[in-house]
Chain A
């Protein structure tokens, strides 16, 4: 059974940093593109970042480029999202999601339960 379990969310002041983790199990982790998607309270879904199976390629939304870093440790089946220079508009539930195939064109077939990040003074 595929499981994705996010952690690391919480309350942080504007300008602060936070690192999210996503522990994956139940599939061949290093074979799949993985992503982060966020959802601000009462709003729609926003893609944040993709990472290749090897971790060698990453892609970011313009809204987070230069502030967020997406990485993975395939030996630990874990994803990381390092978030720096946080802003109020980064407040959201952050989901990690598995892309259903080895290519970037595939949809998200599994999602974690999400972790809430609140940026406020």
Chain B
């Protein structure tokens, strides 16, 4: 099983600041790594797939990078609607696994 470890668990930033979220895999996930955003009471929303491709309709301030075992989600300039929980997920191998999440909160 590929274990995904996200850091930090909580990130406190202000609107306009840059956010950097990390996801580390216990073994190679190749580039089959996705990032999701989840707000309270809502289903997750796909942001990034294949490590670095933005999903349809996702603003350009969201970007992803990495391959193998180390991946990063960057939000270049935080908007008020970006404060949420973010999950990484791999579909390289079964079982499909998610990271435990990073909570991005307003400072």
Instruction: Give me the interface of A with B, judged by CB distance under 8 Å.
Output: 35, 44-47, 50, 59, 61-62, 95, 100, 104-109, 111-114
Contacts and interface: CB of A to CB of B under 8 A. Distances in A.
Contact of A47 (B56, B97, B101): B97
B100 A50 contact: no
A47 B46 contact: no
Contacts of B101: 44-45
B89 A107 contact: yes
Interface residues of B, number: 24
Contacts of B36: 45, 108
Report, nearest first, the 4 A-B pairs whose CB atoms are least far apart: A107-B34, A111-B43, A47-B96, A107-B49
Contact of B94 (A59, A106, A112, A113): A59
A107 B91 contact: yes
Contact of B32 (A105, A108, A109): A105
Contact of A107 (B43, B46, B95, B100): B46
Contact of B87 (A44, A61, A100): A44
Contact of A108 (B46, B97, B100): B46
A59 B93 CA distance: 11
A116 B30 CA distance: 34
Interface centre among A35, A95, A107, A108 (most CB of B within 10 A): A107
